């Protein structure tokens, strides 16, 4: 089959990790006889430097006409340290999510058996953890009205949700739970926030259509604690934009490295695949960034294309690399492989060449 894939490497380590995913996808195309056509475009700080806009029109148009977007990472410290900066790299990603209507961000989290000792959490706590976070991605406080008073002495970000925004992601989360362990946890702050009360009411109503799924509720502060105390209790988590951002970074500790966490952002017409980690600017260009989160995001892209066997082949290659410790420094502290060599290894496993290049 033929697919057009927009590649947006972005900032920091974005380009080097994304390159490994392209390598892996090319190996899949060869082995399974598909045609993947990659077209690259600038986003984030890289795009600001080139054309003064973190999401140039040409990049947006490319994404709209492609079957899917492979996204690297975004962010540059030169903007973080300048609170008055009007144009920020992150705006590129936020606008892209909004323009493409990517309302559901799906973030699977699991404990890899071979990496159980890597997590700062005790093995008995994380053993067997397998959850997926459904984070609402185009609403809430991220996109509500923003303002700063003329004298600069006050500022406001509005948290706003409609029933429709809650319903569409809730349906996806309930369907996912139905195909998994049939448990859905809504994380909110319904003891304080009106928007959370709307989430609870709406989700409760929707749950009537999914009687096989057990629904429970957790306040976000308690959820933050439960994520560390007893993460095995979670199957599918459903939550709003900002809580999902925070909870998923916390959950990444379970896998032993944030460099392992993939994500898919989907909407009615478009889909974007990106690691949950940031641009890690300190590591850019050093070949130490873990490409696995990006590669696993590419596997989610293959699933989205309906290429299930192909996605499995990618995940199998990742499992082999973890088993054999062909991993970057975040995982393999003593004898680490570079970003590029991990990519080459995955490519060789997928192509099933004799020499898996381990030494």
Query: Per rule CB under 6 A, is residue 11 in the interface with ligand IPM?
Result: no
| Smallest separation (angstroms) from Mn ion to the CB of 90 | 10
Picked from ligand IPM, Mn ion, none, the partner binding residue 240 (CB below 5 to 8 A depending on kind) is none
Examine residue 260 and tell whether it contacts ligand IPM (CB under 6 A). no
- Does 100 interact with ligand IPM (rule: CB under 6 A)? no
The least distance separating Mn ion from the CB of residue 265, rounded to whole angstroms, comes to 12
Q: Which stretch binds ligand IPM (CB under 6 A): 4-12, 87-95, 321-329, 337-345?
A: 87-95
Active site residues: 142, 189, 221, 245, 249
Contacting residue, 76, 245, 262, 330, with Mn ion by CB under 5 A: 245
In angstroms, give the least distance from the CB of 107 to ligand IPM: 9
Residue 330 interaction partner, one of ligand IPM, Mn ion, none, beta carbon < 5-8 Å per kind: none
Count of chain residues binding Mn ion (CB under 5 A): 1
- SS3 annotation, the chain: CEEEEEEEEECCCHHHHHHHHHHHHHHHHHHHCCEEEEEECCCCHHHHHHHCCCCCHHHHHHHHHCCEEEEEECCCHHHHCCCCCCCCHHHHHHHHHHHHCCCEEEEEEECCHHHCCCCCCCHHHHCCCEEEEEEECCCHHHCCCEEECCCCCCEEECCCCCHHHHHHHHHHHHHHHHCCCCEEEEEECCCCCHHHHHHHHHHHHHHCCCCCCEEEEEEHHHHHHHHHHCHHHCCEEEECHHHHHHHHHHHCCCCCCHHHCEEEEECCCCEEEEECCCCCHHHCCCCCCCCHHHHHHHHHHHHHCCCHHHHHHHHHHHHHHHHCCCCCCCCCCCCCCCHHHHHHHHHHHHHCCCCCCCC
- Interaction partner, residue 93 (Mn ion, ligand IPM, none; CB < 5-8 Å by kind): ligand IPM
Distance of closest approach, residue 42 Cβ to ligand IPM, in angstroms: 16
Site string for ligand IPM, 262-301 (x = CB under 6 A): --------------x-------------------------
Q: Does 16 bind Mn ion (CB under 5 A)?
A: no
Residues at the site binding Mn ion, with contacts judged by CB under 5 A: 245
């Amino acid at each position: 089959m033929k697919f057009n894939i927009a590649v947006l490497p972005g900032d920091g380590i974005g380009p080097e990790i994304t390159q490994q995913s392209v390598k892996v996808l090319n190996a899949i195309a060869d082995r399974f006889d598909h045609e993947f056509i990659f077209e690259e475009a600038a986003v984030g700080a890289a795009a600001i430097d080139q054309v003064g806009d973190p999401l140039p029109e040409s990049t947006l148009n490319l994404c709209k006409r492609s079957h899917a977007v492979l996204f690297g990472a975004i962010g540059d410290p030169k903007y973080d340290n300048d609170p008055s900066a009007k144009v920020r790299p992150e705006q590129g990603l936020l606008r892209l999510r909004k323009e493409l209507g990517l309302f559901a961000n799906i973030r699977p989290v699991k404990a890899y058996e071979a990496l159980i000792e890597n997590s700062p959490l005790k093995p008995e706590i994380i053993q067997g953890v397998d959850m997926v976070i459904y984070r609402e991605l185009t609403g809430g406080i991220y996109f509500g009205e923003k303002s700063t008073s003329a004298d600069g002495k006050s500022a406001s970000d509005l948290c706003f949700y409609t029933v429709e925004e809650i319903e569409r992601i809730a349906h996806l989360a309930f369907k996912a739970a139905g195909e998994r362990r049939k448990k859905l946890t809504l994380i909110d702050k319904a003891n304080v926030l009106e928007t959370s009360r709307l989430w609870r009411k709406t989700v409760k109503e929707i749950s009537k259509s999914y009687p096989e799924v057990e629904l429970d509720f957790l306040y976000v502060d308690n959820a933050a604690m439960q994520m560390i105390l007893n993460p095995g209790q979670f199957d599918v988590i459903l939550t709003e934009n900002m809580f999902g951002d925070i909870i998923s970074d916390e959950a990444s500790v379970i896998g032993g490295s944030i460099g392992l966490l993939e994500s898919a952002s989907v909407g009615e017409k478009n889909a974007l695949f990106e690691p949950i980690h940031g641009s890690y600017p300190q590591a850019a260009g050093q070949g130490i960034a873990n490409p696995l989160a990006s590669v696993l995001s590419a596997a989610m892209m293959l699933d989205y294309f309906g290429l299930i066997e192909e996605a499995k082949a990618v995940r199998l290659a990742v499992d082999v690399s973890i088993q054999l410790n062909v991993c970057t420094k975040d995982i393999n502290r003593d004898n680490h492989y570079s970003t590029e060599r991990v990519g080459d290894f995955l490519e060789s496993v997928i192509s099933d060449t004799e020499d898996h290049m381990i030494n």
